[in-house]
Chains A and B, each alone.
Chain A
């Protein structure tokens, strides 16, 4: 479903020149597969997710998603592709504070297939256990509930791939496992591939496949050798 080939990303330095932070020769994710991505802070985990999602364009290489090379698409085409094919769960939830839980989920649909499927939005919120909180604004929800709304929003367009950037980092331990269970359950139920960034060993242990960035990013492996 997703294949990264020789993906490189550099950023310009304030002092001139540029520094390469990502060089991934190959990374493949199959349909419905659930993967944990681990790496130290600043190792390029978020950059990798942004390249996969098309938010950031790789300097070189290919990001093949169901045969479409995202690096060849224009920015607006990548936006559209992301809206239809991918869901994104952020570390800080990033719910829009002025909108209710239901409106936040429907916002996810706005940029996707362009259909406001109210029944699906309600069903998703029901699935994440927020039947009675649909019309609450984020400020009226607990941290765990906010992240559950974010999960429901990411699933709104029935994506093929769900990208989760440390989704439990800001959640209390009691809720961490609930979020993980929820992600695993809904992705499994809807055959959605899951790529989740985490630092937690206990969470990593619950996944069959764990990728370490210092192994797949040759910039880091060469640094380690030197």
Chain B
């Protein structure tokens, strides 16, 4: 019984941590993730959890449509390149005027961790925590900037886990690679200027690099495409027709930014008061989709996590049933030895009902004591694992992290188990013939 209840408490703790962790991470501070058409789950996995294979990219010009105010014109003025109607504002600009948009480019890795190319706004505007009120703070250093005199476009901020595992410190240089296997490592490095405090979010496990620098890495410029077929016309180093001054390395050394038409983004993180309406509109377009992270994470919970939780709970329930049977067998086997004791109690004036209740009470006590040991054991284990869980998920566990009201069900369940386990031995006691047993 102790094992059964201990497992139940552990399953509840794990479920609680998984659910809370997912919910915490779903509480991201933006309403929509916009990405290319495809799997919405994959888009959330990529953009929120930095998992799964990367999704297709969106044109940077599409991202500009979301910039509030005159952001689109300002970006054109700053970056240059080919852009239709550069004088107008973004089509969605009026909907994002009270919010923000943050671009994100994914695909590269730093060691085993995802490299997230973004803008400094990621840490300036986004918040985290249960109430999404905690700003991102730096254990060491500062946020990266778009362009700094000493490091040009090549600054990086590390999640706490990345810095700890890779033993990186401020001033070190990290190099992004294509894919987790690190087959191709970019020559151009990024200088670590900040290390984040642990947040208990997937951001602890990511390296954030300046998007301007990311674009200047080899093969990161958007491929030219044939207008009719849509096939890539990739310009490589060996291509003699490629103008040398436009190569990423040359641009980097000249501190030139990649023009708009050569840029792509993987995802756009958007906060707006009109997110619902925008989501519908965006999803009607042929190339992009908008996903609500909270909705998506809720459906993830429902689709994947909850069935697993139920499976685990069913398993622990079976352990409890086996424990109940073992209580039944042990009490039942002891009945033959205790027939005389029961007869003595009857001779001293105990009624049949009294002995029945005594045996049921005994079974309940065994179940409850076993359950209490299991409860204490389960919570002690949770408390023992607390530092590890907190470091990995940001969810704090303590001995008294009770999963109300689920754990309250343990008490009536134990009493019911005790009664069910004790009913047969109790009936045997009830039927004891005193005159034959004395």
Contact = CB atoms under 8 A, between A and B. Distances in A.
A55 B347 contact: yes
A51 B383 CA distance: 62
B344 A111 contact: no
A79 B344 contact: no
A120 to B, nearest CB: 15
A112 B352 CA distance: 15
Contact of A111 (B340, B345, B438): B345
Interface string A84-127: 10001010001011000000000110111000000000000000
A111 B352 contact: no
A96 B344 contact: yes
B344 A76 contact: no
Interface in A48-81: 50, 53, 55-56, 75-76, 79-80
A66 B167 CA distance: 93
Given A55-B435, A94-B340, A88 B347 contact: yes
B438 A82 contact: no
Range, interface on chain B: 10 to 19
A153 interface: yes
B435 A83 contact: no
B346 A107 contact: no
A55 B343 CA distance: 10
Contacts of A157: 349
Contacts of B341: 96-97
Contacts of B345: 96, 107, 111
Contact of A75 (B340, B344, B347, B352): B352
B438 A94 contact: yes
B353 A111 contact: no
Contact of A88 (B340, B348, B352): B348
A108 B349 CA distance: 8
Interface residues on A, range: 20 to 34
Interface in B325-366: 340-341, 343-354
Contacts of A96: 341, 344-345
A112 B434 CA distance: 18
B435 A111 contact: no
A163 to B, nearest CB: 10
Contact of A79 (B340, B343, B349, B438): B349
A50 B352 CA distance: 16
Contacts of A56: 435
A55 B348 contact: no
A132 to B, nearest CB: 25
Contacts of A107: 345, 348
A107 to B, nearest CB: 7
Contact of A82 (B349, B352, B354, B435): B349
Contacts of A97: 341
A80 B344 contact: no
13 contacts: A55-B346, A55-B434, A55-B435, A56-B435, A79-B349, A88-B348, A90-B344, A90-B438, A96-B344, A107-B345, A110-B350, A111-B349, A153-B348
Listed from nearest, the 7 A-B pairs whose CB atoms lie closest are: A83-B349, A111-B349, A94-B344, A79-B351, A76-B351, A111-B350, A82-B349
